[in-house]
Amino acid sequence: MEKASIHTYARNMMALQFLPAANIEPAFQLLALRANSEQLSRFVHYIEEQWINHAIFDIDSLSVYGVSVRTNNDTEGWHQFLNRKAGGQELTFYRLVPALCAEAENVQYELWYLREGHSNRSEASEP
């Protein structure tokens, strides 16, 4: 495969999680058949062992099909917010601790707010 098609192949593998759970393994098998080099075969083996046939996590937990809120997006957003609040690139331990303490004080309020049925986050509309 050429460099561009290897890139597309890897992106297709990484996109498996966006399929319905029932379609992930068949799609993986189709992609696995296209592995035509030692490096791609090792990549396929890694995906199979770590994600498809994992001893603890099943395919259903891999799929994010139909999930409107993805935890990673929330976590990255919170991390960026905290970084800006605490000093960004120049963040030191002594700036981080007070920022984390201030954030921890807000947790009880946020929990109450959510339990009351309010949300301060917006979700992307579905196409």
- Reading the block at residue 59, the tokens are 């395919």
Average pLDDT over all residues of the chain = 82
Give me the mean pLDDT over the 119-124 stretch. 58
| Whole-number pLDDT of residue 42 | 93
pLDDT attached to residue 1: 62
Whole-number pLDDT of residue 43: 92
DSSP for 26-50 reads: HHHHHHHHT--SHHHHHHHHHHIII
pLDDT bin (cut points 50, 70, 90) of residue 48 is: very high
Neighbours of 37 (CB within 10 A): 10
Long-range contacts of 69-76 (CB under 8 A, 24+ apart): 69/123, 74/121
pLDDT 10s digits, 60-97: 888 888 877 666 777 788 888 888 878 777 778 888 88
Question: Which one-letter DSSP state was computed for residue 16?
Answer: G
Contact 49, 91 (CB under 8 A): no
Q: Euclidean distance between the first and final Cα of the chain, in Å? A: 34
Q: What is the dihedral of CA 5, 20, 121, 106, to 10 degrees?
A: -100
